[in-house]
Structure 1
Amino acid sequence: MSKICVLTNQTPAAEDAASRLRARYGSVDLTDAEIVVALGGDGLMLETLHRVIGTDKPVYGMNFGSVGFLMNAFSEDALDERLMASQRTQIYPLSMTVSDASGQHRTALAINEVSLFRASYQAAKLQIIVDGEVRLDELICDGALLSTPAGSTAYNLSAHGPILPIEAPLLALTPISPFRPRRWRGAILSNRAVVTFKVQEAGKRPVSAVADKVEFQNVLEVKVTEDRSHGVTLLFDPGTSLEERVLSEQFRY
């Protein structure tokens, strides 16, 4: 059996299950692991994927959270057989580069989405540029987000953005509570697109930028592009692949 590292969201139920798995199958440090087994919810999966970016370590999740969209069902039996039979899904993060009011330039990766949010009682004013061309001169809104296919069923869906097939070379650009233009509902872009958000009236209407859970405040410009050099791999039981889950989500009512 491959060397595994068992991680948890530290809830009592997950910790108890992890103790049984470690006793039965062993567990090594993350740096020495060949496969990571994560016991928790989608939040833990997202955190774990960030920890293994660039290491080629696949992650197999078992659900001890609420939704568990990215997780498999828990069982402590036949873990080695389940890992060997699992289906792989490769996903790629977004790279966010931020310029802020202090003149700093900072970067972060997002597996789900990059989001911009108004940081005061006043609506944000954003200019949206795609591949160097201004596509929307002024979006007055609570914010906007750019989502990967993997993240399209998360916050993007809650903001009424489109669900993207997991293998599609696409990104979803979705406004958050748009005021003007009122009827604009976003765009579907190539995953090769470079998307730039420029904050208008930044002193009066401050904006924060978030890559998954990494937040930068008082941003002036945010540039986002897919980063194909930092793929991560998720493992799913046969018949429950992420591609199947994303497809099934489109037929929920």
Structure 2
Amino acid sequence: MQYAAYKPEVASNGFAVIENIYSEDERLQIINVIEGTDTSGDTFRKSENLFAIRQFVKEIPQALPLIFNEKLRQVISQVFGEDYFIVKSIYFDKPGGSNWFVAYHQDLTVSVDKKTDVDGYGPWTVKQNQFAVQPPLHILENIFTLRLHLDDTDINNGALKVVPGSHAKGIYRPETIDWQTETEAICNVPAGGLMIMKPLLLHSSGRTTNNNNRRVIHIEFSNHPLATPLQWAEKMIY
């Protein structure tokens, strides 16, 4: 399969959608592994409107060989290269009755192993004992995100809305979006498909209106080190 054709699309628009990364059997195997996991730990967040697993690949390592099948490995190597590693992973389950939405934003923080003063890094946050910090722009520009969809996703159950090309404009405050010049795209992704996204791409997600789940595995990759002594908190070779 030739996935290199998506490389200029990601570079220009900041995102791309690729269908049929997982067969129906592979998709169900991944779901079964997730559903069979003990969810009592600190990295699991459960509520009426959301179920999330932070540090997903560390919490459920048995899912890795299922997720990184031959097609996904080809996507990564052909679009980005061979030297990337995982730096962050989250699993989201947005239930069918969910009524929450996420306004337009960029993903501006990375997960690190400790909090320490380093030039160019800040501000800092902590979520569930995990340190996060905004790094220098070149670190953010290097990251790419894969969003693996376990359910059919469209505008009715929270498909991402994005501003094409916004990833190339540095830190872009959503309150400054000029809709006279910018456009909006809706990223429909079928079950078993993949969305590639640059974290600086402005994106948002609406409420669910069709009672269908939206289960997504979100994995971020980089091939850059952080400034000493900081380390990627979730660095993993896949």
- Which protein is richer in strand relative to its size? 1
TM-score, length of structure 1 as denominator length: 0.22
TM-score, length of structure 2 as denominator length: 0.23
- Which protein is richer in helix relative to its size? 2
Instruction: Answer with 1 or 2: which has the greater Rg.
Output: 1
Greater relative contact order (Cα < 8 A, sep 6+): 2
